[in-house]
Each structure stands twice: as C-alpha cells, then as structure tokens.
C-alpha cells in the first residue's frame, strides 16, 4: 500500500469527518486538560448568525394569586434579553513533511498499515483538530475574563466583539497584593458577595486563577493569619505586623480559606497554547481571578455528533454559555472540518492538512461571571 492508497482508505472509512466531529476533543487531549468547556461547552448545529432569546439576567418569583384567578402577566425586559450573534470563522493549514513523512513511508513498506493509520490520524488530531480547539479555549477565557473578545484575521483584519454590558462585573485591583501591608481578602469577598447579591448560591461559586496568583496569596501575610499560622501584632509605634505561630502556608491552606468563605476551592489553571503570532501564552490570562456562579443550566454533549454508533454523552452542569458551532464554509451540515490530501509525485513530497470551522463562544448567563484583573 502506498500513501495515496492509505489516504483513500481513510476517506472511505470517513476517518477525517469522524475526527472533526469529536466534540469531546474540546476538553483537550489525554494528559492535557482544557477546562474552558466546563463552563462553555460546544453546541453543534447553531445557525451561523441569529438571535438567542433566553439570555438570562435574573428572574423574579411568581406572585401569589387566588385559585381560579387568571395568571398575572409579568413584563420586564430586565429579566431576559436577546443576544444577536454572528459566529466567526477560523482556519489553518499544516504540512506533514521531512522525517515524519519518511517514517510513514517506512511503515507502509513494512506493511504496518495500522501504525501508518495511527501516525496520520495522530498528526491530524494534534496539528489540525486541536488547533481549532485551542483557538476556542483562548476565546472562551477572553469572554469569561472581559465579557467580550476580538477577532483577528489575515491582512491586518481586526474586529472587536463586545458582549452584554457587564459594567461592574470585572474590576481592576487597585493595590499591590505582594505588599505585606495589603489585605486582599476584602476585595475577594466583595466579588463573592456581588454574585450572592444577584441571587446565585454562594456554595456554587467557582474560582479560577493561575499559579502566579496562588503564589501571591500564599506569600501574603494576611493569608497566614486567615490560615491560623500567624497572628497580627500591633507594635508600640502603631504599625501592624504578623507574628508566625507554626509552619508555612501551602496550597491546602488556600483551599481551606476559600471554603471557609463559603465558596468552592479554587482551580489553578496554567495550560498554555500557541497564538497566531507563534507566541506561547496561558489560555487563562495572568493576573486575573474569575468568580463563576453555578447557574442550574446544563448542557448534554455527544462525544461524537457524526457517529451513530457512538451514543456516549457528557452532561456539563451549571454552564454560563456555549461555544456555538455552525456550518463551516463550503459545508452542507454544521460542524468542524478536517481534510488531508497527499502530494506524492512532487519534489517536496508531503501531506497537506487543512482544518476550518465557524464557531464562537456565546455568554448566556452574563451576570453569573465576575472577576478581578491586574493582580500582582
């Protein structure tokens, strides 16, 4: 079997469409967990543009009435809103060349077809499908830390996409938390109380930050006080300092402090991806702390939406939005698209792969998210 025959076999088996339809890929490959889809999972089959009518700000309780009275009409645009959206396009092309290509030829020369298939599909997953997934992960965290995001394309194209008006949901930290005289916890507790005041359950609030912020908190003297490992002592000149009692603050102390405030233990998220400018950066922006409420809105996601034999699903609870996946350019049905073509009769023999999609994150519970920025 040569490479052209191998690609023909994969096409007959629909391996590339099935790969592209693997929605569970949105959580990242084995050993590299991407958590954005825990809050905004993929939703297949959305129109490329349209209106979402169940954008929830808050609800009100039904009024009491007599048994046979007519139901009172409760009107108020402040409770639910509509979101007009237009899903953006993303695409990339990659080449399978050099020693990798030579290795593929060697597998076929030894009739090791299974290894050759695994090599091509593994490359297609990593270089093509995961590239689309990582683009989505960057966009999810842009939305969850700012409420909006930017689209950047070829030839200097820039389009700023603004979400709902979230004035007051995201604020900049005014003081330096690395300063031993600064107590960061009143600011943190104020963010928690903002979500509670909007009707969200305190025990359902999830916290996300990076290891940098966790380290800043561990080194702050007020953390040692809250964890019971130091005391605040007032000197004769009126200055206040901490007096160690026992041990140093560790990660478990940070978790206990947040649980003592009535919220969930924080998630430390430090996974990185490569940007279009070939710069590696964190998916979750440095210096941020996100507070994400439990919403009671759940999403069921199929492992693979194009494989009738795979009926597995994952239920994602308490989502704040979705990544809407529409119909990619040139396609008749919604979904991501992955294509691999052989070029075997040229001096630069190679495989060329292309992946494209029409998708974007859509925030359905705008007030369920708030955050702090500029932590240092």
Is the pLDDT confidence value at 75 over 50? no
Is the pLDDT confidence value at 257 over 90? yes
Tell me the domains of the chain and their CATH numbers. 3-56+83-165+300-355 (3.15.30)
Greater pLDDT, 250 or 245? 250
Integer distance in angstroms from the first to the last C-alpha of the chain? 58
Considering only CA atoms, which of 318, 372, 364 is closest in space to residue 192?
372
CB atoms within 10 A of CB 76: 9
Query: pLDDT tens for residues 103-155?
Result: 898 989 998 999 999 999 999 999 999 999 999 999 999 999 988 755 545 55
Averaged over 220-235, what is the pLDDT?
A: 86
b/e per residue 285-299 (b: at least 16 CB within 10 A): bebbbbbbbbbebeb
Q: Helices 98-109 and 113-123 sit at what angle, rounded to 10 degrees?
A: 160
Considering only CA atoms, which of 204, 373, 360 is closest in space to residue 292?
204
306, 18 Cβ separation under 8 angstroms? yes
């Amino acid at each position: 079997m040569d490479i052209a025959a191998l690609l023909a076999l994969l096409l007959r088996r629909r391996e590339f469409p099935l790969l592209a339809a693997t929605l569970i890929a949105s959580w990242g490959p084995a050993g590299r967990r991407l958590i954005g889809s825990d809050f905004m999972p993929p939703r297949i089959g959305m129109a490329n543009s349209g209106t979402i009518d169940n954008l929830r700000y808050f609800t009100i309780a039904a009024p009491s009435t007599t048994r046979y009275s007519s139901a009172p009409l409760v009107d108020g645009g402040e409770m639910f809103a509509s979101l007009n959206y237009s899903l953006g396009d993303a695409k990339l092309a990659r080449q399978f060349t050099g020693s990798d290509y030579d290795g593929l030829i060697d597998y076929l020369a030894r009739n090791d077809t299974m290894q050759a298939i695994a090599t091509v599909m593994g490359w297609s997953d990593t270089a093509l499908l995961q590239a689309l997934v990582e683009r989505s992960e960057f966009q999810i965290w842009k939305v969850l830390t700012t409420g909006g995001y930017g689209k950047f394309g070829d030839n200097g194209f820039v389009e700023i996409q603004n979400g709902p008006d979230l004035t007051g949901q995201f604020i900049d930290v005014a003081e330096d938390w690395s300063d031993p005289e600064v107590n960061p916890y009143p600011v943190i507790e104020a963010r928690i109380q903002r979500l509670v005041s909007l009707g969200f359950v305190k025990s359902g609030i999830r916290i996300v930050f990076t290891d940098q912020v966790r380290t800043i908190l561990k080194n702050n003297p007020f953390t040692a006080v809250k964890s019971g490992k130091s005391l605040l002592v007032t000197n004769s000149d009126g200055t206040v300092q901490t007096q160690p009692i026992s041990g140093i603050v560790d990660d478990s102390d940070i978790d206990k402090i947040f649980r003592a405030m009535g919220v969930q233990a924080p998630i430390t998220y430090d996974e990185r991806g490569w940007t279009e400018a070939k710069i590696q950066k964190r998916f979750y922006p440095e210096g941020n702390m996100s507070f994400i409420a439990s919403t009671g809105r759940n999403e069921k996601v199929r492992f693979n939406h194009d494989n009738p034999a795979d009926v597995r699903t994952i239920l994602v609870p308490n989502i704040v939005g979705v990544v809407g996946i529409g119909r990619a350019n040139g396609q008749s049905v919604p979904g991501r698209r992955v294509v691999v073509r052989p070029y075997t009769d040229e001096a630069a023999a190679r495989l060329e792969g292309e992946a494209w999609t029409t998708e974007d994150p859509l925030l359905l519970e705008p007030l369920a998210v708030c955050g702090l920025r500029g932590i240092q």
